[in-house]
Homo-oligomer: A and B are copies of this chain.
């Protein structure tokens, strides 16, 4: 199974995921690899153009080449292609932050996010992950996921002592979400988010559209409008593309 390929990709992940240029020894230590091995692989990554090395500090940082090939994958992603115009439409109609999420493992992955011009505490960004049960979009998706219980349980185990998260109560809540057709969550004191699922084939959700903003602006009346806009957008989305 091509050991060096696996190592090279894990090194690339480490370099790209760091907040600042990384040092060779840190990479070697965090991945439990030999320095000489990391050095050789980093040298090939440099020569391939995926990584470059700062001249003075000798630190390694990612190039935008990885991003380029990633963008290729994203732009051809069927759900994103289909949902893009509706995202813009929702943002134009409401003026709030609108995002598109899909399920990825036990997390929800933010494919796209059009932020409100009046910014709030910048929480998630395109390309970031959040445990599915903690995001409105994730709840909308999980409500139609056959093995939602298993996901919820794993997530509960993962953030064991983080906050009060009751799996059983959450599963009952999911039943409500499925019945209502939308999800609502208040992840932080002054933040509220509503989401509706993008229904795909087999009764499962291919993704979710979310509208979020400060609770002080999104009062009950505006939330009702937002939910209506979301559900209408999702309905037209699935009929536009038929089966995703």
Contact = CB atoms under 8 A, between A and B. Distances in A.
Given A66-B66, A109-B68, A126-B71, A43 B117 contact: no
Interface string A42-71: 011101101000000000011110111111
Interface residues of A, number: 51
Interface stretch (A3-11, A24-32, A228-236): A3-11
Interface stretch (A74-82, A166-174, A208-216): A74-82
Contact of A62 (B20, B73, B128): B73
Contacts of A44: 1-2, 5-6
Given A1-B44, A2-B8, A44-B6, A71 B64 contact: no
A127 interface: yes
A63 to B, nearest CB: 7
A13 interface: yes
Given A44-B1, A48-B9, A72-B16, A92 B67 contact: no
Interface string A105-136: 00001010001010000000111110000000
Nearest to A128: B71
A70 B127 CA distance: 9
